[in-house]
Structure 1
Amino acid sequence: MKNIDIRNYFLYVLFFFVASCVGTKNNKSNVVLTHIPTTVSDFKIEEPKEDKSKEETALFKLAPQGVKWVDSIYSGLSFDEKLGQLFMVAAYSNKDNYHVNAIDRLITENKIGGLIFFQGGPLRQAKLTNRYQAKSKIPLFVGIDAEWGLSMRLDSTYTYPYNMTLGAVQDMALIEKLGNQLGEQSKRMGLQFNFAPVLDINTNPKNPIIGFRSFGEDKNNVTDRAVAIIKGVQASGIFATGKHFPGHGDTDTDSHKSLPTVNFSKERLETTEFVPYQKTFDVGLASVMVAHLNVPSLEPRPRYPSSISYNVVTNVLQKELGFKGLIFTDALNMKAVSTYKKTGEVDLDAFLAGNDILLFPENVPVALEALKKAYQDSLFTDERLEFSVKKILKFKYLAGLHLYQPVVLDHLYQDINSSKNEALEYQLYENAITVVKNEGAILPIKNLENQKIAYVKIGDGSNSTFLTTLKKYADVVEVSDVNIDSLQLKLKEYSTVIVGYHKTDAAFKDHDFTSNQLWKLAVIAKNNNVILDVFTSPYVLNQISDFSGLKGVVVSYQNNAIAQEVSAELIFGAITAKGKLPVSIANNFKVNFGLTTEKLNVLGFTAPENVGMNPLVLAKIDNLANKAINGRMTPGLQILVARKGKVIYQKSFGNPTYDSPVKVTNTNLYDVASLTKILSTLPNAMLQYDHQKLNMETRLDSMLPIFKNSNKADIHFKELLSHYARLQAWIPFYKATIDKDGSPLDQYYKKNAEPNFNIKVADSLYLRSDYDDTIMKIIVDSKLLPQKKYKYSDFTFMILKEYLEKTTGKKLDVLSTENFYKPLGTYNTMYNPLNKVARDRVIPSEIDTYFRHQVIQGYVHDMGAAMEGGVAGHAGVFSNSMDVAKIMQLYLQKGNYGNRQYFSEKTFDDFNTCYFCAEGNRRGVGFDKPQLGTSGPTCGCASMTSFGHTGFTGTMAWADPEQEIVYVFLSNRTFPSEAANRLSKENIREDIQELIYDAIVK
């Protein structure tokens, strides 16, 4: 041992003696000084002795060839190279060449052992990783902070939920799955370490640095989730790092700025803060990061950072807790430690304390000189250096760096942004979102026909996905006014008010309501039935002292698109609430509290993988949609695919017309043409059947007396709806009302509504009021086809409309709205849309040059339906893909939707039966069915239990019970002219359907 200044020795002994006395006198610490220097030789810092009482985890064991590699590499290192292995330097992929060259020099001249990457981009970082590894004699450790994914540091990468959100999730298998995906992405980036998870138990709501980074305030919850994350990460071949030892959860200071104090006794630390560490050590946690904290119960020297405390790092972490993995300091440039000592001194103290890797040193050359001088002064031994360096080399071997391969750059972006990221995120939010109040079972919202729902936004974060999704379930109206009195006046007419509090995820630390927002919420809650949904930290609820005015309270944790979509699903019952609070909310809601809610069988939303579908195959639908538009088969279209009750694909393409600058959106309404038959007329007929007002053998003359003594009197209901009644396909009724030039005759039409001319056919065109009877009389008197065979006919549903209206005393549009559209929440489905929505929301269907002589927009394309005032049994309905899907899902669920039985399962089965298949007629009762031969309405891949319909304007709705699939295709292929039906000739709808079946994961 080299000589040292004996004066320094006595000062050192005196310091420890005074510190221990002060600690005892003030009773602020229960520390037991396990080692006070008494001789000069005590300055020799030995490697931690191996604790034989704890068997080394299998993760840390090396096979003989590994031991040989470590020994061989170590023996070939110079003293400077050994010291270099201790340093892990900060690197960036968004900085200039000066920074890149500086890292080059640290690798080539100072022989550093690793890099921790910070801000940049994935491809840039991967290129730099390859560059830096190529310059290093020994492969470098490369790590990154990726607590919620690579996006914590890198642009163009995926963001997973924060730990606080995960703290609400009760399914540990999902958390482990997340850990695995985090690990896979890190591995793809050429990393060996993900500096996660955070093991801090956040018991301080005002914690400025941990907070949402913690799994919560319950030590067992934190432990369970940390274990799951670690298992997942390390199963992928990446080392996890538990942080921030000994526990950063109950601090009110940011250690990046100053030194936080943790005033707990050692007993408290052992029974709370240390618990996650002890449990994760048992499952093989590879590394620990030591925080810069002032912990008087562990370190008697006043305001002495834990990261450079021998007692904390060596005595407690390694000896008492038995940790045998790698030990990292927290970043040594942080003010909590960097202001304590000079550069170089702090690095030396960190090493002497027992850390293996010095993270983010401020100046490596200066630190190296400090270490060299300390060695010369015998402040540490060769054995101490060997202990850490060999441990580092051992983990490099375990990481596979002895067989180092550069990062493959091809497809890097695609690989780390796989669609399975989104699929998992849906699952996590479905399990995280928490309901803490549900007075009167206000959640989920039911009985939509009796509801009038408003939405009010509070906060400066985006709310677009939340509002859009709410509107997919019901006619939710956004209401706003800066004046609270005016706002309240507007809200008086609504039965339920959903208040969304939206803060950007980037502002998660700054989540509090303003005083004005709190007042606004209190006023709204006092006067309305309010559901509050907060898209930020649950701690924001601490500001609400009185919850009595709120009927429902939902914690959605974050404000991204998936959180908003899933939260809207919960509000309307597509999912049940499963989350539990990870933290307590004052005295109102305790940690682990969360209510369950009723699940309704309504359509929800998710990623394709979650229902067994391949998103890459589904993505090919885009190509076919664009093919149709680019080939001028249709100006635009909407497509929706759902499986197992979840919408997995909903997109709009093109424009309303070929020369329109506006894009089609999912909220536009299309004339669905013959889909009207199964969206309006058929379900009402099924109700009559369900109520035993008719049966399959009911004769037409008993349904409508007008058919008595006609050639159609003995047609049975089953034959009528199976298109097996010898009815003509159609009659162009309008031709009898126009002259030879195609102009409307004055005896039938007026430009303005008059008492006897009130059937509006188009703009400035009104048909005689009695012509509806004329149409029906023409049908009654029409000739039957000579042979009984399948012949599709519009007459079927025109007759059925007449029957329904005569039987119920209500118009068909009223029947459909009351019986189905209102309770289903299909408020975008309607006849005569111009009476209810703005014209520009309705997609035009044709430029009529033969009858109405105008652009047909908002009026039904079918001429016969137009002559019935737009309300017909065979055509007239306008809708969008989402609403059509709801009705198809109602059928798929055999008459049940939203846990309401509209008609019996038997009724549906009776109507979905092909009664005349043996005679070559594929039709069900009202439903179209798959082809019996080579030609028909489907791709030929749908099951024979499937059903649906197609429409003349280029529409299709199809459902398959066997695969639980709903497929909706809406277009205006008839614009500008119906003449050339290339959409049908080129099998666009059928080819898309085939892709859907191809996407099913076998």
Structure 2
Amino acid sequence: MKRLLFLFFLAFLLVQTSFAQQTTPPFLKNPNQRWVDSVFNSLTADERIAQLIMVAAHGYPNNPSRVIIDTTFTNPRVVAKYIKEYKVGGVIFFQGGPVQQAQLTNYYQSISKVPLLVAMDSEWGLAMRLDSSVRFPYQMTMGAIQGNDELIYTMGKLLAAQKRRLGVHINFAPSVDVNNNANNPVINFRSFGENPQKVYEKSYAYMKGMQDGGILSSLKHFPGHGDTGVDSHYDLPVIPHNRARLDSVELYPFRKLIEQGADGIMMAHLAIPVLDTAKNVPSTLSKPIVTGLLRDQLKFNGLIYSDAMNMKGLTKYFPNGLGDAKGLEAGMDVLEFSPNVPAAIAEIKKAVAEGRISQAEIDARVKKVLAAKAWVGLDKFTPIKTQNLIEDINDKQSELINRQLTENALTVLKNNDNVLPIKDLDKVSIASISLTDAPAITTVTKDGVIALGTRNETAFTGELTTFQKTLSLYANIDHYVIHPKTPDSLQGSIRAALKSYDIVLVGAHLNNIRPGTNYGITPTTAAWVKELAANGNSVITVFGNAYALNKLQDIGKAKGLVMAYQLTPFTEELSAQLIFGAIPAKGKLPVSVNTQFPYGAGIETPAIGRLKYTIPEEVGLDSKWLSFKIDSIANNAIALKAAPSMVVQLAKDGKVFYRKSYGTLIPNEGATNSPSLGIGGLYDFASVTKIAASTLALAKLHSEGKFNLDGTMKDYLPFLKKSNKADLVWRQVLTHQAGLKAFINFWRDCRKPNGKWKPRTFRWGKEAHGAYTVQITDSLWLHKKYHNKLFASLKNSALNEKKEYVYSDLSFMLYPQVVKNLTGIEFEEYLKSNVYRKIGANSLTFNPLRFNKLSQIAPTERDTFFRQTLVHGRVHDEAAAMLNGVSGHAGLFGNANDLMKVTQLFLQKGSYGGESFISEKTMNEFTRYQFPESRRGIGFDKPSRVYNGNAPKSASPQSYGHTGFTGIMIWNDPAYSLNYVFLSNRVYPTRDNNKLSSLNVRTAIMQVVYDGLGIK
């Protein structure tokens, strides 16, 4: 019965094959027949033969370290000779540089009687062959993508545009080999995987993208190179399978793609006894395979290309032009990489003379080649313009599709206890360790330790990888780097250190993807992976070939396992983002690794609402235009001394698309090259403290039912019961129209008429003395109980006659007391334990010198009237300084990225990182206009009802934010899901500098985004 079923299945497959649909390739539809006939009629018999030959060429690379191979027959003089004397029909370029290749192409085209078909073998983009160009993911990486093959189509179309810009007409891709042999030395990662249907679907997307982009494709390697253990570059592989197996696996994608209008197919150098019993005859030269199977049975009428005719799988048995003649006899159209053109033409002429191939067959193929040339525009050939060539072929859309392809491919294979995405950042200690094979130049202290800006500065030897740098955007992480030359003593220290962490994020950076090199796995990497996996607290990300999993002993014991498929900046960045839940995990293994990791394995993990980091194109903006506009505003502001330094960070839909710092740390201080503070520098937020600290805390308490906006000040501040502020309603207080004075110069009240400090106020000195313990500067100290007098002064201050809008700091000074009265927790600790640490906003702090070096903090003012020194690392606001640096109106410091986590929490209606901190109802209440006559929300500023420049011109009425005296601005626009953070220290060296406002720098930068999105 089984035998009958098998025979029935075999007969079914044969019938399906015999009656394959015939679909005309695009280049044969409505060709420029007049041009084809005219050119054809101008050719001699020998020149017609030469039109079927494609010779190899190299463009000299920009990087001299790139090796140029086979210089004997790819030397430009030799190539030029073949073109001028023999009239070959095309060239295939290999290693080189874009401009040099374009220049050579122009030269070769100028000396050719008939325009040349120019080809490249660029399966994963131009960077497969050229420096200074785009590298797309390997096909196996894309094989992991589930149900989003339009990304592959887009990649194919973008690659086509790059090739056309470079003067290239054919891409010898995609590889439609079904790779089901883990040890395949030549296909392997070049395949979409082991599932024939998926290989077909993804190959079709790639092929169609290139066709729609106006270039020719070439499916390879017919009839299927996916189950070989021999590299046909060096010998002739044998495929031992029966016909049923070939039809159901190897031939399946080819057959389906032919039905979809495939325009080119490349033959492989394979011996396949079931299709041709002739001994040592590669499929390239087999008439039963090329003509009998591909032409007659599968009905393919596009161009059939040879694989490189210099490969040992062919030349071992058919040297010196014999293979070229045999190839045409077998039915091929184009002989690619023919190493000896004179010998090839001579052998082909001999075959024609002996009747092994007819002149009519030659002529028909030449006309087909000419039709392809017309289709790619060679009937109207114009030389390549080399100006801006490198810039043009490195377009940002290609970077975007690279990111999207990578993001959709990343595959989670282990997720014990749902360790991914990592949550509860306030409860876990995290380390990362990158295992690389390239030692970095290091500076090691006498203790064997160097500081890399980590939480406890105990990172060991090595430059941080892109993976680690991206991880640091999300949490406090201590980083370690191991390479083969890391001393054993240092490795021992790292082992001991790693025992103290709850989670260890491991990056296995494999710098080779081929099985012949053991996938780039060094003994050091293998040993560390085995050890770390067994520890039970590791999440391992493998930046390498999926098959490498089978070579990493005990990797399946890891708590979490992420397969990234290859080592690129995109896989490193996005794997880190996946680990923290900024993006979901969607990928599935496209091949079977072993029983533990079979085909289709992959665990989906969710995105949990953390910031994602990307490029402007992902949110519909143009990088070049955006950078030009923002750079112009920012650099002009720096040049005009509106501020010495600034940071701009922008996000849309939770995607950070712009992060850049400008200016220097302390300009004009005698240093010839003052360092930049950088994107991670800390700034004094000034009044943005009101939002990022006070309003945040009150909103959280309000959503928990602990704070009533319509209650009175005495309800939460009993010391105000007998004051004129007792019955002020919080809703009016928080909108600055309860009648409170704008501010009180508390420090001035401490001076006598002669300028000396009053008793029990301030004292000058190098150290604290007695009751003078509140440090204001290095040499100025405040009496430890003076805050009581400050609050008494605030309590007794007069109210304005009218309850109208007057921006006031006074109530915000009291919110730390409100929070403590309601929670029993000090203000700063409440914020850190209930929000900041949980969302990974760990740079946000009061009194930052406790945790940061001075060089990490922007200086503020050279105070010449109160503190008599440069204010640097301590709060700029005088009243906040007198409150020991902790107040609800000023005093918070941090970097742009962590501040944006707070503002994104607001934009996401109170949620971030999978946790709800504030109810949506509360957020809606706090961010709406409160009174018809006021532009204020609760704590938040909002666009003026009559435009006055406090917000970008195009900001929606739903938008809200705040500014800070030191030059800070935050602004959210829920209508367009925009999030903006601007940091600067415009008060350096003096607060009298108002250029930042007069130039509208802050609002102008955000307006650029509105303009770019077409929002009026």
Both proteins in one fold, TM over 0.5: yes
Displacement after TM superposition at 1:746 (Å): 7.7
Counterpart in 1 of 2:266?
Answer: 289
Within the alignment, does 1:876 sit opposite 2:884 as a pair? no
Superposition pairs of residues 982-997 of structure 1, within 5 angstroms? 982-997=995-1010
8 Å contact from structure 1 (residues 698, 717) kept in 2: yes
Displacement after TM superposition at 1:886 (Å): 0.8
In structure 1, distance between residues paired with 2:514 and 2:826:
54
Superposition pairs of residues 62-141 of structure 1, within 5 angstroms? 62-63=29-30, 66-94=32-60, 99-141=75-117
Deviations 1:829-863 (A, max 9, x none): 11111112222222222233332233322211111
Displacement after TM superposition at 1:509 (Å): 6.5
Displacement after TM superposition at 1:737 (Å): 3.6
Q: Provide the secondary structure at the position in 2 that maps to 1:473.
A: coil
Displacement after TM superposition at 1:340 (Å): 2.6
Q: Provide the secondary structure at the position in 2 that maps to 1:102.
A: helix
Match of 2:926 among 905, 911, 918: 911
Within the alignment, does 1:718 sit opposite 2:726 as a pair? no
Amino acid at match of 1:599: A
Displacement after TM superposition at 1:740 (Å): 7.2
In structure 2, distance between residues paired with 1:51 and 1:131:
46
> CA, structure 1 residues 480+386, in 2 after alignment: closer, same or farther (shift >3 Å)?
closer
Within the alignment, does 1:621 sit opposite 2:634 as a pair? no
Amino acid at match of 1:204: N
Displacement after TM superposition at 1:191 (Å): 2.0
In structure 1, distance between residues paired with 2:93 and 2:387:
21
Moved more, 514-523 or 764-773: 514-523
Displacement after TM superposition at 1:1001 (Å): 5.0
Superposition pairs of residues 709-858 of structure 1, within 5 angstroms? 709-737=722-750, 747=760, 748-749=762-763, 750-754=765-769, 756-858=771-873
Q: How many correspondences in the alignment?
A: 951
Displacement after TM superposition at 1:310 (Å): 2.3
Counterpart in 2 of 1:158?
Answer: 134
8 Å contact from structure 1 (residues 772, 867) kept in 2: yes
In structure 1, distance between residues paired with 2:755 and 2:369:
89
Counterpart in 1 of 2:476?
Answer: 475
Match of 1:597 among 584, 605, 609: 605
In structure 1, distance between residues paired with 2:636 and 2:655:
27
Deviations 1:217-257 (A, max 9, x none): 22222111101111111111111101111222222233223
In structure 2, distance between residues paired with 1:738 and 1:491:
55
Match of 2:493 among 458, 475, 486: 486
Q: Which ranges of structure 1 fall in alignment gaps of 5 or more residues?
A: 1-30, 32-49
Displacement after TM superposition at 1:611 (Å): 2.3
Q: Provide the secondary structure at the position in 2 that maps to 1:733.
A: coil
Q: Provide the secondary structure at the position in 2 that maps to 1:472.
A: coil
8 Å contact from structure 1 (residues 743, 851) kept in 2: no
Moved more, 830-839 or 97-106: 97-106
Q: Provide the secondary structure at the position in 1 that maps to 2:412.
A: strand
> CA, structure 1 residues 845+507, in 2 after alignment: closer, same or farther (shift >3 Å)?
farther
Moved over 6 A (4+): 50-53, 95-98, 505-509, 739-746
Counterpart in 1 of 2:589?
Answer: 581
Instruction: Give the TM-score, by structure 2 length.
Output: 0.90
Match of 2:346 among 356, 359, 369: 369
Counterpart in 2 of 1:359?
Answer: 336
Displacement after TM superposition at 1:532 (Å): 0.7
Deviations 1:462-509 (A, max 9, x none): 862211221111111114574555333212221111111112367786
Displacement after TM superposition at 1:593 (Å): 1.5
> CA, structure 1 residues 405+924, in 2 after alignment: closer, same or farther (shift >3 Å)?
same
Counterpart in 2 of 1:430?
Answer: 407
8 Å contact from structure 1 (residues 108, 135) kept in 2: yes
Within the alignment, does 1:935 sit opposite 2:935 as a pair? no
Match of 1:859 among 874, 879, 891: 874
Q: Provide the secondary structure at the position in 1 that maps to 2:135.
A: coil
Counterpart in 1 of 2:7?
Answer: none
Amino acid at match of 1:654: G
Q: Provide the secondary structure at the position in 1 that maps to 2:971.
A: strand
> CA, structure 1 residues 58+541, in 2 after alignment: closer, same or farther (shift >3 Å)?
closer
In structure 1, distance between residues paired with 2:324 and 2:662:
60
8 Å contact from structure 2 (residues 124, 139) kept in 1: yes
Within the alignment, does 1:348 sit opposite 2:319 as a pair? no
> CA, structure 1 residues 739+102, in 2 after alignment: closer, same or farther (shift >3 Å)?
farther
Counterpart in 1 of 2:716?
Answer: 703
Counterpart in 1 of 2:158?
Answer: 181
Deviations 1:244-276 (A, max 9, x none): 112222222332233333332333222211111
Amino acid at match of 2:617: E
Amino acid at match of 1:699: T
Deviations 1:355-413 (A, max 9, x none): 11111111212322222333333332212211321221222233332233333444433
In structure 1, distance between residues paired with 2:626 and 2:144:
32
In structure 2, distance between residues paired with 1:311 and 1:145:
27
Give the superposed CA RMSD: 2.4
In structure 2, distance between residues paired with 1:389 and 1:990:
64
Q: Provide the secondary structure at the position in 1 that maps to 2:217.
A: strand
Within the alignment, does 1:57 sit opposite 2:24 as a pair? yes
Identity %: 39
Displacement after TM superposition at 1:545 (Å): 4.5
Displacement after TM superposition at 1:58 (Å): 5.5
Displacement after TM superposition at 1:974 (Å): 1.4
8 Å contact from structure 1 (residues 602, 898) kept in 2: yes
Displacement after TM superposition at 1:763 (Å): 2.2
In structure 2, distance between residues paired with 1:1001 and 1:194:
37
In structure 1, distance between residues paired with 2:473 and 2:515:
28
Deviations 1:171-220 (A, max 9, x none): 11111111111222222222221110011112222222222111112222
Q: Which ranges of structure 2 fall in alignment gaps of 5 or more residues?
A: 1-9, 11-16, 62-67, 439-462, 483-487
In structure 2, distance between residues paired with 1:744 and 1:439:
63
8 Å contact from structure 2 (residues 511, 520) kept in 1: no
> CA, structure 1 residues 208+306, in 2 after alignment: closer, same or farther (shift >3 Å)?
same
Q: Provide the secondary structure at the position in 2 that maps to 1:109.
A: helix
Deviations 1:85-105 (A, max 9, x none): 011111222179993343333
Counterpart in 1 of 2:525?
Answer: 517
Displacement after TM superposition at 1:709 (Å): 2.5
Displacement after TM superposition at 1:938 (Å): 1.2
Counterpart in 2 of 1:638?
Answer: 647
Amino acid at match of 2:803: K
Within the alignment, does 1:268 sit opposite 2:245 as a pair? yes
In structure 1, distance between residues paired with 2:975 and 2:516:
48
Counterpart in 2 of 1:502?
Answer: 509
8 Å contact from structure 1 (residues 941, 997) kept in 2: yes
8 Å contact from structure 1 (residues 426, 607) kept in 2: no
Match of 1:532 among 540, 559, 564: 540
Displacement after TM superposition at 1:954 (Å): 0.7
8 Å contact from structure 2 (residues 434, 465) kept in 1: no
Q: Provide the secondary structure at the position in 2 that maps to 1:804.
A: helix
Amino acid at match of 1:980: N
Moved more, 826-835 or 488-497: 488-497
> CA, structure 1 residues 521+188, in 2 after alignment: closer, same or farther (shift >3 Å)?
same
8 Å contact from structure 1 (residues 501, 534) kept in 2: yes
Deviations 1:328-379 (A, max 9, x none): 1111122222333332222222222221111111121232222233333333
> CA, structure 1 residues 356+742, in 2 after alignment: closer, same or farther (shift >3 Å)?
farther
Superposition pairs of residues 388-427 of structure 1, within 5 angstroms? 388-427=365-404
In structure 2, distance between residues paired with 1:57 and 1:72:
23
Amino acid at match of 2:846: Y
8 Å contact from structure 1 (residues 931, 940) kept in 2: no
